[in-house]
Structure formats: structure tokens, C-alpha cells
Amino acid sequence: LSDAERFPRRGPRHQVEPPASRVALVCCETTAGPLSVAVRPRWAPRGAKRFMDMVRGGYFSSKVPLMRCVKGFLCQFGLPGIPSLAKAFGGGFPDDPSWLPHGPKHWKVGGVERFAKGYLAYAGAGPNSRGNQFIVSLAPSERLCGGSPWEVPWGEVVGGFGTLDAISTAYGEKGPSQ
């Protein structure tokens, strides 16, 4: 990793100074190409731990479909091809405190949107509802993490932005059923 990837700073990519954190690098292979994910425990301790537990537990060893990929917005994924793994990591867990500012006045600051392209967070349906589904931002987004405590970034893509661009968004909101 470059110094900028290991020690991200406020600037054209990050609206605020991200919390300093050690980094675990997870390399993923997708049908669109490789992705390298920097997991940052200080960004969201519970979320990062849960993801790393899933990696170590073999959760991603089976095919994990992308089910909701909206052009210029996000891609949602996380249900494994092995049902027993879904049960092992399917229960909800508590939200992490957000390190990103909340509210409409923070949607875009100095031309930088709140949620950077490549940030990863859990998908949720309400407080403490995170489980085994994730979102990755396909483009900078001002509204993600805008008040939803479950949308706290726990990591970011640091290699493979071309892969993010190559993910099919043809189905949009009408992708494969969960």
C-alpha cells in the first residue's frame, strides 16, 4: 500500500480526517476483476471485526452474488452460496459510532462528498440491524451515512477501482432476489 492508502487524510477523497487505524488488507476476486480492501478497525470496530471474522470463517469462500447494483451509487452484496454460513453470520449486531459528520449541511463540504467511492459499510434496515449484507459505493455519495447509524464505513477499496467501474449495473434496483 502507498502511504496515502495506509494513512488516509482529509482532501479530495476524504471529507474529514479519517481515524488513524492499523490496516488489514483483504484481496478479493470478483467476476469483474480483483479488489483490494483496506479494513480499518478504528473506523468502525464492530463492523471491521465482524467482516474479518467472516473472512476467517470462510464466509466468502463460496460465491457471494451482487444483488443490487445501482449505476453511480452503490452495490449491495453479502449473502453466501452456503446457507449454513448465512446463519452463522446473519444475526444483527450493534451499530458503530459514525466518524463522518451527519446532516444535510455535511453532504458536500469543499467539493468532497461525505461517502467516498469504494467505502464499504453494512446494509441495514434500522438501528442495530446490520448482519451479513454490505454496500460498496460505486461513486462518491453525499447521502450515504447521512444519518443512518448502520452506514458507518469500516473499510475502503484501495486497489481495483477499475473493477468497481466494471461491475454490471444493468439490473439496478431489480437485481437477483435476496
pLDDT on residue 150: 84
Average pLDDT rounded to a whole number, residues 127-146 = 90
pLDDT on residue 63: 85
- 57-116: per-residue pLDDT in tens? 999 988 888 889 999 999 999 988 888 888 888 788 999 999 998 888 889 999 999 999
Closest CA relative to residue 155, chosen from 75, 52, 73: 52
pLDDT on residue 84: 84
Determine the Cα angle at 131 with ends 59 and 82, to 5°: 30
- 105-120: per-residue pLDDT in tens? 889 999 999 999 999 9
pLDDT on residue 160: 92
56, 89 contact by CB (below 8 A): no
Residue 28: pLDDT over 90: yes
Q: Binning pLDDT at 50, 70 and 90, where does residue 23 land?
A: very high
**Residue position matching grid coordinates 474479518:** 52
b/e map 96-106, b = 16+ CB within 10 Å: bebbbeeeeeb
Please give the Cα distance from 60 to 147 (Å, whole number). Answer: 29
**In one letter, which amino acid is 177?**
S
pTM, to two decimals: 0.93
Residues whose CB is less than 8 angstroms from the CB of residue 10 and which lie 6 or more positions away in sequence, other chains included: 16, 17, 18
Residue 37: pLDDT over 90: yes
pLDDT on residue 61: 87
